[in-house]
Amino acid sequence: MRNSLILGLGCLLVVALTAIFLQDPAIFYTYAGIFGLIFTGVAAILTGSSVSGDRVRANFRLSTAKDRAAREKWATYCVLIGFPNLLLAAIVYFSSL
């Protein structure tokens, strides 16, 4: 899990350095926000939180405990990559207004 957080911060660092080099804060919150939304969306898909209740029950019955644990693990990784990007994109966006 620590590696996924480091990966998320690494993506954030690359975007931040690019924005600093080009002297445009819009680059930072745009691309950091996109990375954050993509990884958070993937996590939502993996957990099944974006489907209705009957689909969740059907998916639960068809999957094994091992499959659910693997999806939860990957969803956690995706959240840890996406959350720092979304958080700092929001901070930079609202501080530049």
> pLDDT by residue for the chain (97 residues), tens digit each?
788 889 989 988 999 899 899 988 888 889 999 999 999 999 998 888 888 888 888 888 888 999 989 999 999 999 999 999 999 999 988 987 7
Alpha helices in the chain (DSSP H): 2-22, 25-47, 53-62, 65-95
CA angle in degrees (0–180, nearest 5) for 75-39-18: 145
| Dihedral angle, C-alpha 27, 30, 90, 32, nearest 10 ° | -90
> Which distant-in-sequence residues (6+ apart) come within 8 Å of 6 by Cβ?
none
CA 63 to chain centre: 24
Joined together, the tokens standing for residue 18 give: 């690019």
pLDDT of residue 25: 83
pLDDT of residue 31: 92
